[in-house]
Amino acid sequence: MLKMRLLSGFVVILFLLAFAMAGGDPLLVALCVVSLIGLFEFYRVMGIESTILGFIGYGATILHYWGIREKVFLYHENLFFFLMIMLCLLLGAYVFTYPKFHMENVMAALFGIAYISLMLSCVYLLRMLPGGESLLWVVFIASWGSDTCAYCAGSLFGKHKLVPILSPKKTIEGAVGGVMGSLMITLLYSLYLRQQMDFSLRHILFLMAIAGVGSLVSMIGDLAASAIKRNYDVKDFGTILPGHGGIIDRFDSVILVAPLVYFLSLYLIK
């Protein structure tokens, strides 16, 4: 199992490297596909994956990524309008198929669009910022890099449980180690980029701050996914990634970290 986990993790990293470096349409299409798979996994747990509510969610995902490409539905422009239209469609399906669905099904359908499709699309938005190819790796440092450091610190020094009811193995010491590790990796990464991107000390400190906050948010993302799985009594969201589970199981921290890094980079890195 460990071999399979390492192998599938390595394949995911290569996948990300290829599309992140390419940027543009290849990255956009890849993220759209990943979002659709993740949305299907989420909807399957909610029991609406093959219903009209699910298909509205899939259509909304495709429309959202098309809108980003055509500069129609961006976070800071027409996102509210986009969500309003999706809510109207979902409520319409709820009304005209009544009593097939419950209100929580409608809320789950809308939540899935926001939680997975909209938030993962920030990976593309970040990549397309000036210097985005370099800034994008802060997302993975703050999520997966932090997770690795937290695991090592927790294994060595962990004594006090963080949220034992959700994740018995996570400790406060591990969380601190994750944040510190994220800061150190980002510092080394920033120093490496300093000449290439003409980074000042201010830029480096901003990137470290973003990575530190991102590390904390990544833990929330990981624990939130665990809470959802416990609520619905499932072990993993899917099986597409051997040793890891589904797309959401692998990207649960990235889902929350990507929007954070995007917005902070947009307004702080000038």
Instruction: Please tell me the predicted confidence (pLDDT) of residue 2.
Output: 44
In angstroms, the CA 170 to CA 159 distance is 9
Please state, in angstroms and rounded to a whole number, the distance separating the CA atoms of residues 247 and 236: 10
| Residue 6 reports pLDDT greater than 80 | no
| 216-165-230-12 Cα dihedral, nearest 10 degrees | 40
Give the strand pairing for 161-163 and 167-171: antiparallel
Residue 138's CB is within 10 A of a number of other CB atoms, namely 28
pLDDT digits (tens, 9 = 90+) for 56-77: 999 999 999 998 888 775 555 6
Tell me what pLDDT residue 168 has. 80
pLDDT in tens, 102-151: 999 999 999 999 999 999 999 999 998 888 888 888 888 888 888 888 88
* Gap between the Cα atoms of 150 and 200, Å rounded: 29
Q: How far are the Cα atoms of 48, 100, 106 from residue 51, in angstroms, in the given order?
A: 5, 10, 11
Assess contact for 1 and 243: CB atoms under 8 A: yes
Overall average pLDDT of the 178-191 stretch: 88
